[in-house]
Chains A and B, each alone.
Chain A
Amino acid sequence: MSLPGALWTLFVTAVLVFLLLPLALVVLFSFNQAALTSLPISGLTLDWYATLFANRSFLPALRNSLIVGAAVGLLSVLFGTLAALGLVRLRPGRAAALIDLLSAPMMMPALVIAIALLVFFVRFLGARMGLPTVILGQLVVIQPFVIAILYARLSAFDWRLVDGARDLGAGPLRAFLDVTLPIIRPSLIGAGLIALSLSLDDFVITFFMIGSGNTLPTLVWGLVRTSLDPTINAVATLLLVLSIGSTIVALRLGRHRF
């Protein structure tokens, strides 16, 4: 077609190397004996992980990250499921327009969302900053991802199954719990895990919303600003394993389409 096959292969390979190599290097250097991030590596060690677990800020940060991630995952799946169930009942044009509207927070730079929430919470509501404000701030950005995933899944749903249950005398709630829910459960868990990995990864909104304390990304921020020790590679690898791990599980559970 437009380019010979070899050139296409070269291009795709180059893009894949560009996407994957930097992350692979971070993982590699987290096991490197020398403190410098340069090749060749001088030997394998788990020292940096030991240093990380000995860091007094690490476990509280991990705990906070998991609390926020679980809360954002649960809330976004709950609201996202309800929204997707509502959207599939609308005409496709109206549903698409509503999805565009609800997706606006996802398109904005996190900095703009964060300062708007800061002004609103602090100046207009007089709220205390902490984990609850972090959860709310992340929810508005992550919710659109979950809605898009679940709307795509429910658009392909065979509603005759639910009609059948209703014809046999099941109420709407009963039909949902016995028919719809078991069928879409893998997609719900998948969407929740994707919300979890987006939450674990969020730095900017968390930084403005947390007041005091740390999550893993704000801990990384502090480490990068104050030092260049390879502990950063260890905590970065841990973040990678957590977020990519849950993404891979999510992808295995359902065929997600963005």
Chain B
Amino acid sequence: MRPGALLVPALAVFAGLFALPAGALFVVSFWSVRARMMRPDLTLSNYAETFADYGGLLLYTLAMAGLVALLTTLVAFGFAFAARFRAGRRADLLIYLALVTLFGGYLVKIYAWKSILGRDGILNGALLGLWLVEAPVDALIYSPGAVIVTLCYFLLPFAILPIYGALRAIPENHLAAARDLGAGPFRAVRDVVLPRAERGVAVAFTLSFLIAAGDYVTPRFVGGGASLMGHFIETKFTVGFDWPLGAAMAFTLMLSALAVCVAMRLAYRRAVRP
């Protein structure tokens, strides 16, 4: 059979369940709503409303997602680097544990942090027990910090695997050779490892950034609800029934997030250029 024919079912799934629906969402983002009914239209008012009413929230969401993606990618790089170059025979075990936690459950993970950080949670219990505080600290949960920790926790295994995959292609003795030729430890990593890890780092960062930017469950459970853009997009579809505005908000968010990811990738490439 020709290779093209074998790819037909997978491409049909991609086209029919991703490309076409994304196109439909894009078309609807130009529609209007009158008397709670969607009408085919060609208006830019949904985008105007997105920038006017949610411009500040958009920037805040991008900043939060950027912070989450940066932290996640840094920790994931450190872990993957340690597994690849420092752990010897234990590398497989480390990656195995990271892989297992990948499937630990999205809601379960968020719920776990809710029960750790909550008012009656484990952390408050420990702080009270150690006499470090006199009353439970409410600010542990329902704060930007709680959202950042929970999102990093969920995304970390997803970020470790592509970086580890990229690092595995780098022979260990190349790092040693750079050191023998007189490069300091950071110089050796910058010149030998970082340029060839670009693809893995880019996948890890982009995945973390996009998923953090579009998440609405984490902010609702541990961030006190209306904190990030995803929450407002979700409510346009579940309770507000303003699908065109929700569609315009989703496209604005995704396109600006993609622009940030492309800019970060270019900056990375420039920074590690020998």
List A residues at the B interface (Cβ < 8 Å).
1-3, 5, 8, 11-12, 15-16, 18-20, 22-23, 25-26, 29, 36-39, 78-80, 82-83, 85-87, 89-90, 98, 101-102, 104-105, 107-113, 115-121, 123-124, 136-137, 139-140, 143, 147, 172, 194, 197-198, 201-204, 208, 217, 220-221, 224, 232-233, 236, 239-240, 243-244, 246-248, 251, 256-258
Q: Which of A8, A37, A105, A202 contacts B86 (CB 8 A)?
A: A8
Chain B proximity of A183: nearest CB distance (Å): 18
A8 touches B18 (CB 8 A): no
Which B residues between 87 and 120 are near A, CB-CB below 8 angstroms?
A: 87, 94, 96-109, 111-116, 118, 120
Chain B proximity of A81: nearest CB distance (Å): 9
B182 within 8 A of A: no
Q: Which of B14, B189, B206 contacts A2 (CB 8 A)?
A: B189
Which residues of the other chain, B, contact A118 by a CB distance below 8 angstroms? Answer: 237
Q: Which of the candidate stretches B20-28, B138-146, B265-273 sits at the interface with the other chain?
A: B20-28
Q: Which of the candidate stretches B41-49, B50-58, B214-222 sits at the interface with the other chain?
A: B214-222
Cα(A60)–Cα(B106), bound, Å: 21
Number of interface residues of B (CB under 8 A): 88
Can you list 5 pairs linking A and B with CB atoms under 8 Å apart?
A23-B112, A37-B121, A82-B9, A236-B107, A247-B99
B107 touches A217 (CB 8 A): yes
Cα(A197)–Cα(B106), bound, Å: 11
Closest to B28 in A: A119
Cα(A247)–Cα(B105), bound, Å: 12
Chain B proximity of A1: nearest CB distance (Å): 5
B17 touches A137 (CB 8 A): yes
Q: Which 6 A-B pairs have the closest CB atoms?
A: A109-B214, A86-B6, A2-B185, A83-B10, A120-B21, A22-B112
Supposing A115-B25, A236-B108 touch, asked if A201 and B103 sit within 8 A by C-beta, the answer is yes
Chain A proximity of B53: nearest CB distance (Å): 18
Contact with A along B220-261 (1 / 0, CB 8 A): 010000000010011001000001001100100010000000
Cα(A5)–Cα(B156), bound, Å: 23
Contact with A along B69-83 (1 / 0, CB 8 A): 000000100110011
A203 touches B107 (CB 8 A): yes
Which residues of the other chain, A, contact B108 by a CB distance below 8 angstroms? Answer: 23, 26, 220, 236, 239-240
Chain B proximity of A180: nearest CB distance (Å): 13
B201 within 8 A of A: no
A86 touches B120 (CB 8 A): no
Chain A proximity of B214: nearest CB distance (Å): 2
Supposing A38-B120, A83-B10 touch, asked if A107 and B207 sit within 8 A by C-beta, the answer is yes
B13 touches A140 (CB 8 A): yes
Supposing A38-B122, A140-B13, A208-B237 touch, asked if A23 and B101 sit within 8 A by C-beta, the answer is yes
Supposing A1-B86, A12-B82 touch, asked if A203 and B214 sit within 8 A by C-beta, the answer is no
Cα(A224)–Cα(B112), bound, Å: 11
B213 within 8 A of A: yes
B105 touches A123 (CB 8 A): no
Closest to A236 in B: B108
A26 touches B153 (CB 8 A): no
B7 within 8 A of A: yes
Q: Which of A23, A121, A201, A208 contacts B106 (CB 8 A)?
A: A201
B17 touches A18 (CB 8 A): no
B3 touches A239 (CB 8 A): no
Supposing A102-B14, A116-B24 touch, asked if A15 and B247 sit within 8 A by C-beta, the answer is no
Chain A proximity of B251: nearest CB distance (Å): 9
Q: Which of A18, A39, A87, A120 has the most CB of B within 10 A?
A: A120
Chain B proximity of A170: nearest CB distance (Å): 15
Chain A proximity of B23: nearest CB distance (Å): 8
Cα(A198)–Cα(B109), bound, Å: 14
Q: Which of A15, A89, A258 contacts B165 (CB 8 A)?
A: A258
A86 touches B234 (CB 8 A): no
Supposing A101-B14, A109-B215, A115-B250 touch, asked if A172 and B1 sit within 8 A by C-beta, the answer is yes
B186 within 8 A of A: yes
Which residues of the other chain, A, contact B113 by a CB distance below 8 angstroms? Answer: 22
